[in-house]
């Protein structure tokens, strides 16, 4: 499934409170639109593989990329809070709270640019 279709489905699933029957916080359409725009910016500048995308019960949106070597990149977007974390095999996890969506985008593009 392509990313825009996946995000559209997840937006529909999470539009109401308790969407997961466990008290999940609703995620607004605006937040999903921002997540899609973010992904499209990354895709146009770094051409990553298709990520795993998931909503979280706290109302955040998660993107995850991982490969066979054990490297992974995890992003979390919620309101104006943005987390970026990277894990490499046999190395410590690096986790950064970004001050803006632009910073998250720049870190993500840099991550994929170094891999290509």
Domain residue extents for the chain: 3-115
Band (90; pLDDT cuts 50, 70, 90) = confident
The alpha-carbon radius of gyration of the chain (Å, integer) is 14
Alpha carbon distance 66, 3 (integer Å):
16
| Confidence (pTM) | 0.92
* CB of 59 closer than 8 Å to CB of 9: no
Has residue 116 got a pLDDT over 70? no
Alpha carbon distance 31, 80 (integer Å):
10
Has residue 115 got a pLDDT over 60? yes
Band (15; pLDDT cuts 50, 70, 90) = very high
Q: What does the pLDDT read at residue 91?
A: 83
> Any idea what DSSP says for residue 18?
T
Alpha carbon distance 109, 116 (integer Å):
11
Alpha carbon distance 16, 35 (integer Å):
18
- Sign for the CA dihedral angle at 113, 98, 101, 63 comes to positive
Cα 8–chain centre separation: 15
Residue range 53-89, pLDDT digits in tens: 999 999 999 999 998 888 999 999 999 999 999 998 8
């Amino acid at each position: 499934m392509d990313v825009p279709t996946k995000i559209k489905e997840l937006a529909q699933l999470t539009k109401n409170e308790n969407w997961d029957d466990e008290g999940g916080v609703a995620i607004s359409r605006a937040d999903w639109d921002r997540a899609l725009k973010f992904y499209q910016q990354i895709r146009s500048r770094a051409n990553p593989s298709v990520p795993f995308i998931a909503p979280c019960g706290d109302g955040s949106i998660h993107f995850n990329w991982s490969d066979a070597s054990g490297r992974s990149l995890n992003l979390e977007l919620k309101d104006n809070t943005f987390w970026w974390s990277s894990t490499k095999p046999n190395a410590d996890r690096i986790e950064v709270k970004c001050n803006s969506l632009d910073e998250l985008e720049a870190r993500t593009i840099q991550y994929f640019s170094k891999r290509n």
